Amino acid sequence: MTVEIPARIQHYIDGKFVDSVDGDTFDVLNPVTNETYVQAAAGKQADIDRAVAAARRAFTDGPWPTLLPRERSRVLHRIADIVESRNAKLAELESFDSGLPISQALGQAKRAAENFRFFADLVVAQADDAYKVPGHQVNYVNRKPIGVAGLITPWNTPFMLESWKLGPALATGNTVVLKPAEFTPLSASLWAGIFEEAGLPHGVFNLVNGLGEEAGDALVKHPDVPLISFTGESRTGEIIFANAAPHLKGLSMELGGKSPAVVFADADLDAAIDATIFGVFSLNGERCTAGSRILVQRPVYDEFVERYAAQAKRVVVGDPQDPATEVGALVHPEHHAKVMSYIEIGKTEARLVAGGGRPDNLPDGNYVAPTVFADVRPDARIFQEEIFGPVVAITPFDTEEEALALANNTKYGLAAYVWTNDLKRAHTFAQSIEAGMVWLNSNNVRDLRTPFGGVKASGLGHEGGYRSIDFYTDQQAVHITLGAPRNPTFGKGA
C-alpha cells in the first residue's frame, strides 16, 4: 500500500495555505520507522493572530453566522458526503500518521462523517424553550453563535476527534481556529480541501499547526477567542484552565482517564473478556475511555486472569497498514518511551502475565506487546496513573463495597464498565461510580445524542447532542409583557 504524502504541511488561513510568519517548521515522524517524513509549519503567536483575525472577520462580516440553520445544514451534509467518499484515503493517512491499525482507522473516518451528519440534522431539528404566563407574559430563548471557537485536538484518532468539535461549532454558526496535535498533523491538512469543495466560506475554518506550548498557548490566551474546546491530558487541561481564566472564556475539556471495568462473578465471562480485551488494546491502547483497570471478583479471578492473559498474547501486533493488525505502532518515540517506562515500573509492582516489552519480531518502531499485570495493588502507580498504551492492570475484589471503593480510588472519572447479570446491582452500582459515563454489559457503544464528558480530573463540561449546542451558543432570554405593563411607579410622592 502506497500512501500519498504531501511535500509539506502548511497552515490554512482565510482560504489560503500559508507558511509560518517566521518560516519555522517542525519534523513529523513516521511511527513505524521514527524517521521524519514531512515538515510542518510551526505556528506561533503571529500565526494565531492572523488566523483569529480571519475567523473574526468571517464572523462579523461574513454570511455564515446569519445563514438559516437549514442552509448551514446543507453545507455540513456535503462535508459528510465528501468525507464518506474519501474514507479509504483518510484511513490510510490516519494510519500512516498515527500508527493506528488501518481497519480501525477506517472506522474512525466513517464516524467523522457521521459526526457532521448528526449535527447537520440536530441544528435544524432543534427546538428552543418558550415559557408562558397566560395573559401576562411570554418568554422565549434565542440562541446565537458566540464567535471564534478555538479547537485544540489530540493525536489519538485525530481526524474523528476534530470532526467531533468542528461539526457542532460550525453547525451553530461560529467560526473556528483548529490547532491539531503536533504529532499527527497529516489528516487535519485535508479539512481545507473538504471544506472548500463543500462551499464553506473562506475564513470560517482556519488551521494553525504547531506545538502546544506555542500555538496552543497563543490560541487559549487570545482575547478574541471566547470559546476553547480541548481534548488531551489532565495536566495540560489545568494549564489551559489557568490561562483562560483572565479572559473568562467558555471551556469544554475532555481530559485523561483511568477507567475501571468491574467484572462480578455472575458475569458472562466470555463477553467480559472479549470486551475488556478490546477496550484496552483497540486504538493501540491510546484511548481516553480505555478500561485500563480491570477489577474482578475473587471466585472467578484466577480463571479470568488466565484466560485474559492467553487472549492478550494472541492479539496481532504489526504494521499499521496491514488489515490483519490489531495493535499497531504507538504514535511517537516520546510516548513509546513513556509507556515502556510504566511497564518497567509495573514489573516491580505486580505480577506480569503477558507482554512486558517490545515484540521480538518488531525490533524497530514504536511497538509494544499487549501487556497484562495481575494482582495490582490500589496504591501501585500502574493502578493510579494514566499510561495511555496497551497496558492493563487487573485487581481482585471480594465484596460489592470493595469493588466500588477500588473503582473510585483514582483522581480520574471519565468512563466505567460494569459486567454482571444482576440487573438491580448493575444500575445501583453504576450510579455510585464516580464517572461521567458508565457502560453496563457493553463496551463503549454510544448514541451521539448522549453527553460525553467526565468528572474529577477527567474533564470540565460535556459535549454531545444538545450539550454541544449549548456550549457553542449563547442563550438569550427574551421577555414580552402582554396587556398593560405592571411596573411599580416611583417618583409620585407629594
Sign for the pseudo-dihedral over CA of 171, 172, 175, 178: negative
Distances (CA, A) of 189 to 7, 12, 51, 284, 290: 12, 8, 15, 23, 28
Q: Which residues contact 273 (CB under 8 A, 6 or more apart)?
A: 304, 307, 308, 311
- Give yes or no: 385 in active site: no
Q: Are strands 16-18 and 11-13 parallel, antiparallel or unpaired?
A: antiparallel
Q: Output phi, psi for 276, to 5 deg.
A: -80, -25
Helix 298-313 and helix 269-281: axis angle, to 10°?
50
Instruction: Compute the distance between CA of residue 422 and CA of residue 266 in angstroms, rounded to an integer.
Output: 8
Joined grid coordinates for residue 353: 502475565
Greatest CA separation for the chain: 98
Choose the catalytic residue: 94, 182, 214, 254: 254
Choose the catalytic residue: 214, 288, 326, 386: 288
Buried b (16+ CB within 10 A) or exposed e, 436-474: bbbbebebbeeebeeebbbebbbbbbbbbbebbbbbbbe
- Give yes or no: 400 in active site: no
Distances (CA, A) of 443 to 58, 306, 480: 41, 21, 48
Report, as residue numbers or ranges, the catalytic residues. 254, 288
